[in-house]
Amino acid sequence: MTGSLQFRWAAAALFASLAAAAANAQEAREEKAAEEKPFVFELWPSALDKMLDKVADDMTGDYEFDEYQHDAAKRALRENITRFLRENSSQINRVVNEFIIARRSKEPPTPEFVAEWSQRALPLLEQGHGMLERLSGDLREMMTDEQIIKLDGYMAAIDVGAQVTSNKLRHWADGNFDPQTEWAGYREVRQANRERGREIEAQMIAAQREATARATLGESSDRPTAARATSQPAGAADKSSTDVWDRYVADFIKKYQLDNQQQQKAHSMLASQKQARDSFLLGKAERMKRVERLFKQAASPDELASAEAEFKKLMMPIERMFETLKSRLDRLPTRKQRADAAQRELASKP
pLDDT tens, N- to C-terminus, the chain (350 residues): 333 343 344 444 344 334 333 333 333 333 344 444 444 434 455 677 888 888 899 999 989 988 888 888 998 898 888 788 888 888 888 888 888 888 788 889 999 999 999 999 999 888 888 888 888 888 887 888 788 888 888 888 888 888 888 889 999 999 999 988 988 888 898 888 888 888 888 888 888 888 888 777 655 444 333 223 333 333 334 444 447 899 999 999 999 999 998 999 898 888 877 877 887 788 788 888 888 888 888 888 888 888 888 888 888 888 878 887 888 898 899 999 999 999 998 888 77
Backbone angles phi, psi at 105, to 5 degrees: -70, 155
E strand spans, the chain? none
Put simply, whether the predicted model's pTM sits higher than 0.85 gets the answer no
